[in-house]
Amino acid sequence: MREDTRLRRQAMLDYDDAMRAQFGVICGVDEAGRGPLAGDVYAAAVILGENHGIEGLDDSKKLSEKRREALFDVVQERADAWCIATASVAEIEELNILNAAMLAMQRAVEGLQMQPAYVLVDGNRFPPLQIPGETVVKGDATSASIAAASILAKVARDRYMLGQAELYPQYGFEKHKGYGTAAHCAALREFGPCPIHRPSFLKKIL
């Protein structure tokens, strides 16, 4: 492992230790799937114990797919509590993607088996919660708890899109996970949208 990677990951663990010392039980929250043209938006909430022993936690975007898949199982085994939640395409269309992502985050926190004392949310918008907390810009590279949540949300959504690829094979969801790649846009123009496409995201394409 490169030294800068090791130091960054240690800093993420230290950040969480400092937050626990100040607030008690903390929860990390992150979402996945705000940008794609298709599919539900996912969120995860994770409570890690002080001595969780999970090695390699990092921003999910910095990890290989194989490493994310491995850590997905480890986080679920070793976290004190975790929950993955979604907001549907219909809710994205009704509320807009930002508010739908906030709803998924709210559902993830409220679905935890235990209640945290303080919530750390990736980004700059805080979901409607009855629990105090704060936003952390680039939180998935700052807090190990948020990084764990980012891994759960990302892997869960990727698996969901693989399932959708079997239902709608003409779009190539297994490759781009619903993002607006050239191949995806070409398929949209050829076949039109399917039930999991987000109509409000397609106005500039169709």
Q: Could you write out the DSSP letters of every residue in 75-143?
A: HHHHSSEEEEEEE-HHHHHHH-HHHHHHHHHHHHHHT-SS--SEEEEESS-----SS-EEEETTGGGT-
At residue 67, the pLDDT reads 95
Ranges of residues in the chain whose predicted pLDDT is under 70: 1
pLDDT 10s digits, 20-63:
999 999 999 999 999 999 999 999 999 999 989 899 999 898 89
| Region label for 83, one of left (φ > 0), alpha (ψ between -120 and 50) or beta (otherwise) | beta
| Cβ neighbourhood burial of 132 (10 Å; 0-12, 13-18, 19+) | exposed
- What letter does residue 194 receive in the DSSP assignment? -
Which of 89, 9, 81 lies closest to 47, judged by CA?
81
Please identify which residue in the block is written with the tokens 């395409």: 89
pLDDT at res. 53: 87
Taking the C-alpha atoms of residue 128 and residue 94, their distance in angstroms, rounded to an integer, is 17
Strand partners, 85: 43
Assign residue 198 a region: left if phi > 0, alpha if psi is -120 to 50, beta otherwise? beta
CB 115 within 8 A of CB 108: no
pLDDT value for 29:
98
Domains of the chain by range and CATH? 3-201 (3.30.420.10)
Model-level pTM greater than 0.75?
yes
Give me the residues paired with residue 28 across strands.
46, 120
